[in-house]
Amino acid sequence: MAEDSESKLQLIQRHIRAFPDFPKKGILFRDICPILKNPASLTAVIDLLEEHVRKNHPRVDVIVGLDARGFLFGPPLALRLGLGFILVRKKGKLPGATVSVSYELEYSKAEVEIQEDAVAAGQRVLIIDDLLATGGTMLAACELMRKRQAEVLGCMVVVELRDLNGADRLKPHQVFSLVQY
């Protein structure tokens, strides 16, 4: 990685806080809020994501962001790339006709959806979120794209919690993460 990219990564890492025992005992929560509060670190995130996309996905059509923190990084990246942005929301949050997918959480089920006309068959998409843990929501977003016959080029996150094996669950889709724990 170039020296400039390495310094940007270090800046990002310095702006990720760890909160032990949140939201429950035994969990080490990685907080990206300081990244958002600091213009230089937020710019570094978008710079590095843009660099990755331009280098690895020159023919992407649209950026797809997951509810809700994917909405923080996806639109600025889409703007930089001259692309549109699509929302993947929790069930019941989008107007009009929607397409949904249900998925398993640790002790329950959840559903995500997109507007029916959000993505066209054959469009090449990149899916973005702030953090990859077990991969359930990201996998559901990939399934939504498959239902709409879009091609998922890859998944991108700011933080990846490797011990939870979310990237393995997303195969064959490639996962790009800026910071790994």
List the chain pLDDT tens, one digit each, 181 residues.
578 999 999 999 999 999 999 999 999 999 999 999 999 999 999 999 999 999 999 999 999 999 999 999 999 999 999 999 999 999 999 999 999 999 987 778 999 999 999 999 999 999 999 999 999 999 999 999 999 999 999 999 999 999 999 999 999 999 999 999 9
Closest CA to 83 of 44, 123, 33: 123
pLDDT, tens digit (0-9, with 9 covering 90-100), for 131-159: 999 999 999 999 999 999 999 999 999 99
pLDDT, tens digit (0-9, with 9 covering 90-100), for 80-94: 999 999 999 999 999
Contact 48, 80 (CB under 8 A): no
Q: What domains lie within the chain, and their CATH numbers?
A: 3-180 (3.40.50.2020)
pLDDT of residue 25: 95
pLDDT of residue 104: 87
Closest CA to 69 of 175, 8, 156, 134: 156
pLDDT of residue 42: 98
pLDDT of residue 3: 80
CA distance 38 to 44: 10
Catalytic residues: 69, 106
Q: 59: number of CA atoms within 13 Å, CB side?
A: 6
End-to-end Cα spacing for the chain: 19
Percent of the chain with pLDDT over 70: 99
Q: Look at phi and psi of residue 100 and say left if phi exceeds 0, alpha if psi is from -120 to 50, else beta.
A: beta
Whether residue 172 is preceded by a cis peptide bond, meaning omega within 30 degrees of 0, is yes
